[in-house]
């Protein structure tokens, strides 16, 4: 076998690995996993073992992966119509669109839920399941093509990860994890709508009634601003329920940055300001999660 053949084989294997990783949306899965770990960290109660922390992280990651893959399996035809998604593995045919994938997705979700049940408790396992169910079924199958408010309810997927982590420590779920779950619920719409404004032509071409397609970019940008302000206010509520100074600093810094960028988007609803608002949402959530973790560590 010559060097060119070896190089070609290596590239093919590497591309296959990239396609599979992309299929399961592991970058999003890691973010959702981190929210679950923060939910565990902020909840008062007996410290979980290292084994339980690992099971929580993997169960949330695998459940998210199964839902992400199911989303791409269902959306493979419309993904071909969108610039942002047309290179996905099912859309290009790089991976075969075969029902065997559904078996694998179901096995991943079943294994994740069962592991959480056995190593943690039934309440944690229920929330692991609900996170995947709301993204894969409620959002992808029921809401995405029926209403411009699809992502609002679909955003509950991230909230359930926080509750899964909290339930692993205390199934009764106190006010702090519920408030952080509310923050995640309110974070998803302005985060996703900012991206949707930047890609509104894609969604219109694919026939997906995202908010900027239905309302137009200008009105949608104003909705993003209002949503971001509500998110910012909600992110301060944990301060009245035991969150400390470290959390407050992170909530203020990240929230004000996101509000500033969404204000710029409302003034000039165009791709550049929409992407700036989208990236600001990621910074806001990252600062909030880090601050909540630090705050729990200092308590």
Q: What is the DSSP string of 187-236?
A: HHHHHHHHHHHHTHHHHHHHT---HHHHH-HHHHHHHHHHHHHHHHHHHH
Same-domain pairing of 167 and 58: yes
Indicate whether 185 and 81 sit together in one domain: no
| Same domain, residue pair 189 and 207 | yes
Rounded Cα gap, residues 133 and 130, in angstroms: 5
Q: Hey, what are 53's tokens?
A: 């922390």
Residues 144 and 211 both lie in one domain: no
Domain coverage including residue 58: 18-172
Joined together, the tokens standing for residue 36 give: 């679950």
Of 172, 204, 233, the position where a domain reaches its end is: 172
**Cα–Cα distances in Å, from 223 out to 66, 120, 150, 253, 272?**
31, 39, 14, 22, 18
Per-residue pLDDT, averaged over 260-281, amounts to 97
CB 65 within 8 A of CB 26: yes
As a whole number, mean pLDDT of residues 152-166 equals 90
| Within-domain flag for 10 | no
Does the residue 11 lie in any domain? no
pTM of the model as a whole: 0.90
Q: Is residue 239 part of a domain?
A: yes
Does one domain contain both 127 and 157? Answer: yes
- Average pLDDT for residues 229-244, to the nearest whole number? 95
Domain count, the chain: 2
User: 26: pLDDT confidence band, cut at 50, 70 and 90?
Assistant: confident
| Residue finishing a domain among 129, 152, 172 | 172
The rounded mean pLDDT for the chain is 92
**What is the helix (H) or strand (E) element at residue 295, kind and residue range?**
helix 271-298
Query: Do 179 and 81 belong to one domain?
Result: no
Is the per-residue pLDDT at 165 higher than 90?
yes
User: Measuring CA to CA, which residue among 282, 171, 290, 190 is closest to residue 233?
Assistant: 190
For residue 298, the model assigns a pLDDT of 87
Angle in degrees, CA 237, 191, 54, rounded to 5: 75
- C-beta of residue 40 within 8 angstroms of C-beta of residue 48: yes
For a pLDDT cut of 70, what percent of the chain falls above it?
96
Looking at the predicted structure, is the pLDDT value of residue 24 above 80?
A: yes
Query: Same domain, yes or no, for 156 and 261?
Result: no
CA distance linking residue 160 with residue 206, whole number of Å: 29
Rounded to 10 degrees, the C-alpha dihedral 263/269/273/276 comes to 70
């Amino acid at each position: 076998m010559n060097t060119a053949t070896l190089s070609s084989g290596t590239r093919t294997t590497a591309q296959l690995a990239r396609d599979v990783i992309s299929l399961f949306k592991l970058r999003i899965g890691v973010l959702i996993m981190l929210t679950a770990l923060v939910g565990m960290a902020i909840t008062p109660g007996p410290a979980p073992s290292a084994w339980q922390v690992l099971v929580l992280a993997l169960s949330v990651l695998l459940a998210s992966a199964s839902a992400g893959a199911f989303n791409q399996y269902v959306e493979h035809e419309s993904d071909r119509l969108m610039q942002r998604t047309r290179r996905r593995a099912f859309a290009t045919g790089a991976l075969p669109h075969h029902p065997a994938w559904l078996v694998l997705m179901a096995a991943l979700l079943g294994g994740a839920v069962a592991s959480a049940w056995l190593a943690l408790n039934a309440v944690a396992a229920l929330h692991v399941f609900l996170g995947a169910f709301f993204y894969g079924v409620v959002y992808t199958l029921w809401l995405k093509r029926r209403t411009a408010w699809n992502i609002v309810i679909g955003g509950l997927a991230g909230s359930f990860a926080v509750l899964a982590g909290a339930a692993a420590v205390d199934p009764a779920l106190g006010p702090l994890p519920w408030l952080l779950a509310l923050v995640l619920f309110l974070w998803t719409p302005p985060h996703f709508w900012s991206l949707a404004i930047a890609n509104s032509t894609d969604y219109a071409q694919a026939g997906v009634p995202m908010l900027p397609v239905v309302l137009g970019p200008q009105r949608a940008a104003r909705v993003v601003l209002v949503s971001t302000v509500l998110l910012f206010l909600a992110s301060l509520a944990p301060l009245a329920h035991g969150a400390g100074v470290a959390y407050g600093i992170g909530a203020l810094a990240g929230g004000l940055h996101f509000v500033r960028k969404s204000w710029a988007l409302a003034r000039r609803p165009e791709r550049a300001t929409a992407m700036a608002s989208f990236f600001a949402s990621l910074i806001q959530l990252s600062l909030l999660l880090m601050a909540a973790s630090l705050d729990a560590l200092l308590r």
